[in-house]
Amino acid sequence: MSGFTHFDQDGNAVMVDVSDKDTTERTATAAGSIYMQPETMKLIMDGGVKKGDVLTVAQLAGIMGAKKTPDLIPLCHPLALTSVKVDLVCDPKRNAVDITATCKLKGMTGVEMEALTAVSIAGLTVYDMCKAVDKGMQITDIRLKHKAGGKSGTFEAKE
């Protein structure tokens, strides 16, 4: 096929066989942002959203999302994550909540998808909790920032 690892020689979707890979420590960090109206940002920062503490609920949702990645992405391996950290930071100058997630394990495959899923689910949770006051929020710029471990080594995104 074309060098994609999730297709066999006949073009059929397959889960990559990682049984011959070395077990190494692997980490990945992803990031993204959700932009909103200034009034929505103020509600989040003041704890005035009716559904509750937006940042804490989104943080927990992101962690849960990382753990559920193989249930959401069809060809992802179930992984024994050893650490998932999700941080949400309000930036009132940009009317944005910036989300960063870092996942870690010792295993035979990487954790990029888990970090990306954590950011996505955290952003979706912010949207869900605030949509009653701001349906125009935009979840943007979800991307891999860093990955380490495994045969392909370290990746650092260019800022």
Active site residues: 128
Rg (CA), the chain: 17
Question: What dihedral do alpha carbons 36, 56, 159, 153 form, nearest 10°?
Answer: -150
Question: What dihedral do alpha carbons 26, 103, 147, 154 form, nearest 10°?
Answer: -30
The Cα 93–Cα 41 span in angstroms is 10
Token duo for residue 3: 């060098």
